[in-house]
Amino acid sequence: MLSLIKLPRVFRVHQVPPAFQEDSIISGYRHPRSSATDCVLSLFQLTNETLNVWTHFLPTWYFLWKLLTVVLMQDVWRDAYTWPLLVYLLSCCVYPLASSCAHTFSSMSMRARHLCFFFDYGALSLYSLGSAITYSAYVMPDAWVKGPFHMCYVPMAIFNTTLCTAMACYSRFPECQRPTLGKVLRVSAFAYPYLFDNIPLFYRIFLCVGEGCTVNEANSLHVYHTLLAFLTGFLFATHLPERLAPGRFDYIGHSHQLFHVCGIIGTHFQMQAIEVDMKLRRAWLQAHAPAITFGGTVGATMLCVFLSLGIIYLFSRPLFCGPAPRTVLGKENGGARRCCSH
């Protein structure tokens, strides 16, 4: 069937505008003004984005299956204890789906590229909030439950989600003229909420000793997730291995693909650890922890979705109002520097 369809042509790095070029990726680029149909068809040929899409699109269905399992097998409508897990699983479905869509349609135009990754950043920030809500409900070490940090933990996570969505979106604007600043802002926008969310977990598995510590089967799974998370950040920040051999990893094995794979595996271990903590600690948490509320779970998530959409709208306005994006965020058909990457 596909042999009867004319697949889109792919290009080398010098044939596409600098804004679409990636560090140390030499070939496999799609046309920077592809149609939506061409973008979809490109998923069935080998380009430098093909595995970026599939490494997130396929896991979306696994996370959706996990979400439906919880909804169908647990009394989620009356059991408030399951609400943090529902919020987390929903965020696990949203962030890989948003990423796969962003990588699919980002070659339609400069405007589409920025808009796609704005939504990608918002989805990642939402996943950070989902993690924080479950950590507050199930993972917080015994000694910190109902303490000052625990009581302000979710409100701070809401603030971080909003701040980091804005920071990540803004990072695309200075990237052409000041690429280092853009890169630092984007890495910070992803690293800061992760580090904050995991403060109670780091204390629990690496620092806490004696009474008040939480030691169970979930701890080893939390360690696996933590190691994979740091590997994910390292790959995103360093662009290895393609920097060591430009052109050798254009289609398979470049850092963004490995970043996706490590991130998904890390999320899988995180999910398993959360489910173990949720099950083993239920009786103790329901006796000692603050009551789980709709406002602190679903309500907080809805608030952050609304705020993130507002931020995306504000950062998208310059793309559609006034001059074309090439004069606002970097020239689409020229310029000496690569800018506006993932």
341 in any annotated domain: no
pLDDT at 239 over 80: yes
pLDDT, residue 183, reads 87
CB 161 within 8 A of CB 129: yes
The answer to whether the CB of 27 falls within 8 A of the CB of 16 is no
- Between 321 and 208, the more confident residue is 208
| pLDDT reading at 233 higher than 70 | yes
In a domain, 231, yes or no: no
Q: Does pLDDT of 327 surpass 50?
A: no
The pLDDT confidence band at residue 212, using thresholds 50, 70 and 90, is confident
Contact yes or no for 67/86 (Cβ under 8 A): yes
pLDDT tier for residue 211 given thresholds of 50, 70 and 90? confident
Residue 328: pLDDT band with limits 50, 70, 90: very low
Per-residue pLDDT, averaged over 252-272, amounts to 97
Q: Is residue 263 part of a domain?
A: no
pLDDT at 210: 79
Q: How many CA atoms lie within 13 A of 223 on its CB side?
A: 10
Residue 207 domain-assigned (yes or no): yes
Judged by average pLDDT, the poorest of 14-23, 119-128, 264-273 is: 14-23
- What local confidence, expressed as pLDDT, does residue 336 receive? 40
Cα–Cα dist 284/210, whole Å: 18
Considering the domain boundaries, does residue 148 fall inside one? yes
Per-residue pLDDT, 4 = 61
CA distance 291 to 324: 51
Mean pLDDT of the chain: 91
252 CB neighbour count, 10 Å cutoff: 12
Distance from C-alpha of 300 to C-alpha of 342, rounded to nearest angstrom: 28
In a domain, 301, yes or no: yes
Residues forming beta bridges with residue 27, ordered by sequence position: 12
H or E segment to which residue 276 belongs: helix 255-280
Residue 16: C-alpha distances to residues 10, 20, 171, 262 (Å): 10, 7, 22, 29
Question: What pLDDT is recorded for position 324?
Answer: 53
Mean pLDDT of the region 168-183 = 85
Identify the DSSP state of 209.
-
Whether 338 has a pLDDT exceeding 70, the answer reads no
> Which pLDDT belongs to residue 273?
98
Domain enclosing residue 68, as ranges: 53-213+282-328
Q: Does the residue 336 lie in any domain?
A: no
Place of tokens 């398993």: 272
Nearest to 316 by CA among 173, 176, 185, 175: 173
What mean pLDDT is predicted for residues 2-24? 86
pLDDT in tens, 73-102: 988 989 999 999 999 999 999 999 999 999
pLDDT of residue 179: 79
Section 212-218 average pLDDT: 89
This prediction's pTM: 0.92
Q: Distance between CA 238 and CA 232 in Å, rounded?
A: 10
Residue 312: inside a domain, yes or no? yes
Question: How far apart (Å, rounded) are the C-alpha atoms in residues 74 and 266?
Answer: 25
Q: What is the pLDDT of residues 133-161, one digit of tens each?
A: 999 999 999 999 999 999 999 999 999 99
Domain count of the chain? Answer: 1
State how far the alpha carbon of 56 is from the alpha carbons of 51, 59, 95, 96, 329, in Å: 8, 5, 9, 5, 27
